[in-house]
Structure 1
Amino acid sequence: MSILHTASQLFQSIMGSSNFPTVRIKSNIDGKMYKVRDMPDKQKAADLMATLRTKLVKLCNALEKKYPDKAQVKMMVKNFRADPERFIEATPDLEHTSSTVNKGETINMCLRQRDGPDESLVDENVLMFVALHEFAHVCTESVGHDSEFWNNFGWLLKEAEGMNLYRYTDFASHPVSYCGVHITDSPRYDPKKDGTNLQIGTLSKKA
């Protein structure tokens, strides 16, 4: 798929022109409105989006206080948009299950399984893993899934686990189905690949 095609799909999801109807629902978690698929369990979907957003906001605020000079954190604070309107349930006609637009401008999350007729909501902890995957893009200078991205992802998982925002899961030993794909690994943070150390960090490329 071309970049233009992917951008067009994301635009359709944001503007509401998807083949799968969406609706704005007020969450019981934070009282905010979220754009989710118009399904019988749309209230639960909105509450899931609110829970994920709340956890990411807590993580971002905590990391900003804990590591104010860390380059990844500075980039995260600069790029992350906590506005609930920017958290959207991804529809099945999007090319990617979940994605982030312009490193945090909009976060599209697939909340439902895509195994045949099964469209049940995904486990919250698995969704948090995926949300942290997208958050790693927000705090990574490079585009794609290079070693810098995976190390930042591992770092976010470690920090979120320490704050009880995420529960570690050994996906290598216990793979899980997620929105038509399988999660089979969980990256681990290596301070040696972080540039200098955990407190300062760097976004520079390695030779």
Structure 2
Amino acid sequence: MKKLLISVLFLIFTATSASGQDHPGWYRAELISKAKELLNQEVLEVKPLERLSERMPLLDPTEKAECLLDPEERWESFAAGDFSWISMIGDMNRIHTLWLAFPVVNVNDPTKANTFYSKFFSYLFPDWQGASSWAMESSRESWSASEKAYKDPMISFDEMIVRQTVDGSALATISGPPDIIYYRVTSRSQCEMVSDYLLAKPRRARPDPLKRD
């Protein structure tokens, strides 16, 4: 009986540990190949981003760029038609963070754009039932909250961000009506922060990082 109990506890522990592990990220070459397939392109121009800028995918003022970008890692980007600009962070083998910009007003074919996002997220998370609908559903939810926030200062910044955790990865969608939606996907979920600034009601001005107390 004692041996049986120990065996059961061991199985529970190992199952819990496995489910709590961070996502391993995505193979860079495979990810680029999938993007080319979805875009029906033989060539995809991937450009290195040489320095940090305001485009760095930080959602909270307490998040650190250094957490998402190690000194030996690369920050690259490529255009996905007219409906996305995708940035990737990782090394030459694996990507751990993606930042997708969706300029909704400049899209010529919304159906094509929706299909791309649906299939791209399904590639990222093949075992997640909600992957194919994540991009559109989360963007609608974020867009609605952001529009209401224009008139209601009691809607916090965090309420405008739609979040989901899948296989150890942190997903976040944030919109900026009337023209853009951002999707962040990172296997470094420990880099995601939610500070008092995001939760504040009424909303506060974003703190100036150059100012000291």
Please report the TM-score for the alignment, with normalisation by the length of structure 1.
0.30
Higher RCO, 1 vs 2 (CA within 8 Å, ≥6 residues apart): 2
Query: Based on CA coordinates, which of the two structures has the bigger radius of gyration?
Result: 2
Higher fraction of strand: 2
